[in-house]
Amino acid sequence: MNVLIIGSGGREHALAWKIKQSPRLTNLFIAPGNGGTKDLGTNVTLDINDATQIKQAVREHGIDLLVFGPEEPLVRGVVDKIKSDPDYSKLLIVGPSADGAQLEGSKQFAKDFMEKYGIPTGKAKVFNKQNLEEGLAFISAQKPPFVLKADGLAAGKGVLITKDPDEAKENMKDLILGEKFGAASANVLVEEFLDGIELSVFVVTDGKDYKILPEAKDYKRIGENDTGLNTGGMGAISPVIFADDKFMQKVEQKVIRPTVEGIAKEGMDYHGFIFFGLIKVGDEPYVIEYNVRMGDPETEVVIPRIKSDLIDLLEATANSTLDQVELAIDPNTATTVMMVAGGYPEKYDKGHVIDLEASLNDAIVFHAGTAFKDGKLLTNGGRVMAITGLGKDMKEALSKSYEGVSKVKWIGKNFRSDIGFDLKALGQ
Ligand code: AMP
Ligand code: GLY
């Protein structure tokens, strides 16, 4: 089978790494890929939001299975454009059509969907230019902290949380009047603050059945002890001690099942991943967001724990036979530590030479922002590479991750040395 993965991050490298292990693979392509994916297959340069260019790559390379990593092409309807072309009716596609992708593309849509299907989530009200004064008054009447969310895609920066009501009101004006995220912040949700511990849960679904993938904990802040600015994610752990069987049964019954049933009832064409961003409040799961893709860096710990063939799983996702596949999960722990450019998530340099020792025996290196140019591996983004360790417990896995981290060098490299600190405090 010929496979094309769309995207260029650590997530896509991890997907490529696992697909490469399948005996069913003939040729692997990654578009646009990065400095690491080129060693697993062929990097293809194209605009990932352009259906015509993707179709051309599919035709040229005889692709059988097309897998979308990031959300943007999905929200923009790239899958719909490919599926509506009869020449591509046999192509297997992992990635929802635009109606399903609205679960990530519009927080208001997601909120309405959750309310309709009784899925636990924080209460929210939506404001825009028309009722801005009402929105400001609403903030005054609420108790802090105040959670404001841009309705549309905002590159992970669309959530603003503050305890200060005046700052919350300024944020609302910035978002709506200042068009902070353009059309994506024309509508703003003011959401109930949920006080608890976060968890990422993933499934693949073919729109009727689903398979639950390993859960993970993500570390979003740049600084130790979860301080400082938000990032795309500085590390991840799977499994997660507080996501025990009892809690995961609740997640399945109250969140996963009603979501997939809702997708079926709405008649969405959904073949792909669902990422449930959850907060555990007391013993109860609440959804803070849906994503219609895998998480990054969560994929770098989820994928190494999947023992089954990934092509089998993705094919079944695409052709609606998920009820016929078995998913085997490795009980070991996976950890990943993200190595980032100095200065990230603010201003940072690109183009530093990466010195990667050949002998990272016990760790898996997933490239994110890297590029291979003129025979050299260079930094090419804020998040540069994720180093994954697998072990019998979190301690063993982390020691492999950090040993790997110590062997990768470039000018300005930065990483968090406390990944898993909170889980350790809980006994993991
Ligand atoms: P998101 O971009 O939706 O992942 O949100 C970014 C971060 O904001 C989340 O990872 C949470 O830490 C936090 N967050 C979002 N919604 C809420 C909420 N309702 N209550 C508390 N924290 C929240
Ligand atoms: N790690 C969080 C995300 O991928 O959105």
Q: Is 346 a domain residue?
A: no
**pLDDT of amino acid 78:** 98
CATH number of the domain enclosing 137: 3.30.1490.20
Residues 72 and 142 in one domain: no
Residues 16 and 77 in one domain: yes
3-state secondary structure the chain: CCEEEEECCHHHHHHHHHHHCCCCCCCEEEEECCCCHHHCCEECCCCCCCHHHHHHHHHHHCCCEEEECCCHHHHCCHHHHHHCCHHHCCCEEECCCHHHHHHHHCHHHHHHHHHHCCCCECCEEEECHHHHHHHHHHHHHCCCCEEEEECCCCCCCCEEEECCHHHHHHHHHHHHCCCCCHHHHCCEEEECCCCCEEEEEEEEECCCCEEECCCEEECCEEECCCEEEECCCCEEEECCCCCCHHHHHHHHHHHHHHHHHHHHHCCCCCCEEEEEEEEEECCEEEEEEEECCCCCCCHHHHHHHECCCHHHHHHHHHCCCHHHCCCCECCCEEEEEEEECCCCCCCCCCCCECEECCCCCCEEEEECCEEEECCEEEECCCEEEEEEEEECCHHHHHHHHHHHHHCEECCCCECCCCCCHHHHHCCC
- Residues 214 and 305 sit within 8 Å (Cβ to Cβ): yes
Distance CA 310, CA 18 (A): 7
Residues 72 and 145 in one domain: no
CA quadruple 93, 267, 296, 373: dihedral sign: positive
Q: Is the CB of 151 under 6 A from ligand 2?
A: no
Q: Is the CB of 422 under 6 A from ligand 2?
A: no
State the distance from the centre of ligand 2 to the C-alpha of 132, rounded, in angstroms: 30
Residues 6 and 72 in one domain: yes
Q: Is 345 a domain residue?
A: no
Q: Is the CB of 379 under 6 A from ligand 2?
A: no
Q: Is 57 a domain residue?
A: yes
CATH number of the domain enclosing 90: 3.40.50.20
State the distance from the centre of ligand 1 to the C-alpha of 328, rounded, in angstroms: 31
Q: Is the CB of 295 under 6 A from ligand 2?
A: yes
State the distance from the centre of ligand 2 to the C-alpha of 275, rounded, in angstroms: 9
Q: Is 130 a domain residue?
A: yes
pLDDT in tens, 71-88: 999 999 999 999 999 999
* pLDDT beneath 70, residues of the chain: none
- Rounded to the nearest 5 degrees, what angle is found at the Cα of 222, between the Cα atoms of 169 and 213? 95
Among 218, 274, 303, residue to substitute to test ligand 2 (most atoms within 8 Å of Cβ)? 218
Helix-helix angle 10-20:310-318, to 10 degrees: 110
**pLDDT of amino acid 40:** 97
**pLDDT of amino acid 107:** 94
**pLDDT of amino acid 243:** 97
**pLDDT of amino acid 357:** 75
Residues 150 and 82 in one domain: no
Residues 8 and 64 in one domain: yes
Residues 7 and 68 in one domain: yes
**pLDDT of amino acid 73:** 98
State the distance from the centre of ligand 1 to the C-alpha of 159, rounded, in angstroms: 7
Task: Please give the structure tokens belonging to residue 424.
Answer: 């350790």
Q: Is 140 a domain residue?
A: yes
pLDDT in tens, 163-187: 999 999 999 999 999 888 888 988 9
Which residues lie below 8 Å from residue 244, measured CB to CB, with a gap of 6+? none
60: number of Cβ within 10 Å: 10
Residues 41 and 87 in one domain: yes
State the distance from the centre of ligand 2 to the C-alpha of 298, rounded, in angstroms: 7
Domain count, the chain: 2
State the distance from the centre of ligand 2 to the C-alpha of 218, rounded, in angstroms: 8
- Rounded to the nearest 5 degrees, what angle is found at the Cα of 161, between the Cα atoms of 159 and 163? 170
- Rounded to the nearest 5 degrees, what angle is found at the Cα of 17, between the Cα atoms of 256 and 346? 75
State the distance from the centre of ligand 1 to the C-alpha of 124, rounded, in angstroms: 13
Among 121, 279, 422, residue to substitute to test ligand 1 (most atoms within 8 Å of Cβ)? 279
State the distance from the centre of ligand 2 to the C-alpha of 341, rounded, in angstroms: 18
Note the ligand closest to the C-alpha atom of 154: 1
What are the two backbone dihedrals, phi and then psi, of residue 279, each rounded to the nearest 5 degrees? -120, 130
Q: Is 33 a domain residue?
A: yes
Q: Is 151 a domain residue?
A: yes
State the distance from the centre of ligand 1 to the C-alpha of 318, rounded, in angstroms: 30
Note the ligand closest to the C-alpha atom of 148: 1
Q: Is 50 a domain residue?
A: yes
Distances (CA, A) of 410 to 296, 342, 350, 354, 357: 22, 10, 11, 5, 12
Query: What's the alpha-carbon Rg for the chain, to the nearest Å?
Result: 21
Distance CA 19, CA 101 (A): 24
Note the ligand closest to the C-alpha atom of 163: 1
Q: Is the CB of 120 under 6 A from ligand 1?
A: no
- Residues 214 and 306 sit within 8 Å (Cβ to Cβ): yes
Q: Is the CB of 277 under 6 A from ligand 1?
A: yes
Residues 138 and 177 in one domain: yes
Nearest-atom number in ligand 2 for the CA of 11 is 4
State the distance from the centre of ligand 2 to the C-alpha of 63, rounded, in angstroms: 28
- Count CA atoms closer than 13 A to 62's CA, side-chain side: 5
Residue with CA closest to ligand 1 atom 5: 159
Residue with CA closest to ligand 2 atom 4: 295
Q: Is the CB of 289 under 6 A from ligand 1?
A: yes
Residues 86 and 130 in one domain: no
Domain of residue 170: give its range. 124-191
Instruction: Return the closest-CA partner of residue 384 out of 201, 234, 166.
Output: 234
